[in-house]
Amino acid sequence: MMSDKNSPTPGSAVVMTESPALAPAMPRAVNSRICFVVDDEPGIQNIVATAVTSLGYRAERFRTAAKALAAVPHLNPDLLFLDISLEGSDAIDVLRGLAAVGFNGTVQLMSGKDAVTLEEVRRVGERHGLTMRKALAKPFRLDAVRAAVRGHLAELPARKSNSNTDNLALAKELDPIDIDVMLRRNWLEVWYQPKIDLKKMQFSGAEALVRCRHPEKGLLAPANFLPYADECLMIRLTEKVLVTALEDWRRYAQIGFPFKLAINVPVCVLGKLPIHTIVRDQRPQNERWPGLMIEVTEDQAVRDIPLLHEVATQLRIHDIHLSVDDFGTGYSHLARLKQLPFAEVKIDRSLVANCGEDANNISLCSAAINLAHGFGCVAVGEGIESATELKTLLQLGCDYGQGYLFAKPMPRDQLISMLVKNATTRA
């Protein structure tokens, strides 16, 4: 590893060449990583390249956005340092281009611009589905770049095993799975992600999440099959998940955890699948049965308010309550949501993320929590990943939380083992 005293400084005599955009990819050593440095200042390129090289990266330097974007599909960088102002372009153009070519690495912004502008650029990247790190403010030293890279590397294992993909194969890398085949061959699995009572810091429930155990392709995420399902298949899939969740509840109750389960149901299914009849006929005959939570995304909830109101009202008769999921991602009118008899508001991860540091997200989370309480509902923070986010949500009065800070989704038996172990430890 090169020491700081031997590191080049801006303007020092270091030979640099911009990477040819369409040159053949160089052979990559096992476990090697590539970092793009996109900046039109040679001195900044030097500092970043030296820092990343000392941490095991191969640095590829670019002065223009066009050449960097053209090289992404050929070299597949893991990390991309990006100045927000470039020759004849800017970071917004680059972010759009990265999304267009399917870049799945991490973007590290850097600039001398004000913090508000940097944060807005970062948000643009996230809206395009890119993984964005907090910006580096220029001027910076070598140590600051190394710290940013180490932070990125530290996040990789968690992102690969605990992030939204749950270490599952991505849809774009695999052929879509036919839900009819999945159901007929019994490849479907129902996993559970714990829900935590934030005031008591105790386990309080779980959300059922569907997975596919393919005999050849392994464990697959919903992105591999849900987008390709028609309405009839979604009805069959939802019924299977519902029945499985009811059966699994009996196992949870047997070990002393009669918590409430939640399942996700598309609005199109709610109007056609007799959920209340299925639950009435197959629900556990147990006095500790707490009922069920049905999660409907905000954007779907506002499409047919009269239908959803009718269905939700009927479900409440059978202790089945409605939860508005992904709250804050749509453009729904609060007056319309007020018409629904929902019992829970789940605040989307996009608002929870960095809410301890992001003033805008703090305000939005606070508004969502107050809205939920104003409607007589509980508020649930989704995707909690850091102690700072948890602390902020607690201060804002959030009732429940889910996220990898507590636990990732897991099979039924693994959840049972975790609950038993925790109960034994507490005792």
Residue 126 belongs to what H/E stretch? Answer: helix 115-127
What three-state secondary structure class fits 77? coil
Helices (H), 283-378: 298-301, 305-317, 334-337, 349-352, 359-374
Q: Are 393 and 352 in contact (CB under 8 A)?
A: yes
Q: Look up residue 223 and give its amino acid.
A: A
- Token look-up 């470039």 returns 86
Out of 3.40.50.2300, 3.40.140.10, 3.90.1150.10, 3.30.60.50, select the CATH number for domain 4-162. Answer: 3.40.50.2300
For CATH 3.40.50.2300, the residue range(s) in the chain are 4-162
Residue 341 CB partners (closer than 8 Å, separation 6+): 309, 312, 313, 316, 322
CA dist 343 and 315 (Å) reads 12
Q: Are 223 and 170 in contact (CB under 8 A)?
A: yes
Q: State the sign of the Cα–Cα–Cα–Cα dihedral 394, 396, 399, 404.
A: negative
Closest CA relative to residue 139, chosen from 117, 108, 110, 114: 110
pLDDT tens for the chain, 427 residues: list them.
Answer: 333 333 333 333 333 333 333 333 333 333 468 999 999 888 899 999 998 988 889 999 998 888 999 999 889 899 999 998 887 788 888 999 999 888 989 999 998 888 778 888 888 888 888 999 888 888 888 888 988 898 888 776 544 444 444 444 443 444 667 888 999 999 999 999 999 999 999 999 999 999 999 998 888 888 778 877 888 999 999 999 999 999 999 999 999 999 999 999 988 898 899 999 999 999 888 989 999 999 998 878 877 788 888 889 989 988 999 998 888 755 445 556 777 888 999 999 888 988 988 888 899 899 999 989 988 999 999 999 999 999 999 999 999 999 999 999 999 999 999 999 888 776 6
CA dist 261 and 293 (Å) reads 6
Closest CA relative to residue 316, chosen from 350, 284, 292, 348: 292
Q: Look up residue 4 and give its amino acid.
A: D
Which structure tokens are listed for 230?
Answer: 């028609």
CA dist 71 and 22 (Å) reads 6
Q: Are 79 and 110 in contact (CB under 8 A)?
A: no
CA dist 81 and 87 (Å) reads 15
CA dist 130 and 420 (Å) reads 38
Q: Are 345 and 377 in contact (CB under 8 A)?
A: yes
Q: Strand 202-214 and strand 188-197: pairing?
A: antiparallel
Residue 151 belongs to what H/E stretch? Answer: helix 142-162
Closest CA relative to residue 350, chosen from 389, 383, 375, 320: 383
Does domain 171-426 fall under CATH 3.20.20.450? My reply is yes
What pLDDT does residue 335 have? 58
Q: Look up residue 13 and give its amino acid.
A: A
Helices (H) and strands (E) in the chain, counts: 16, 17
What pLDDT does residue 1 have? 33
DSSP 113: S
Burial class (CB in 10 A: 0-12, 13-18, 19+), 389: buried
**Phi, psi values for residue 111, rounded to 5°:** -175, 165
Question: Other C-beta atoms within 10 Å of 330: how many?
Answer: 16
Closest CA relative to residue 314, chosen from 296, 341, 346: 341
For CATH 3.20.20.450, the residue range(s) in the chain are 171-426
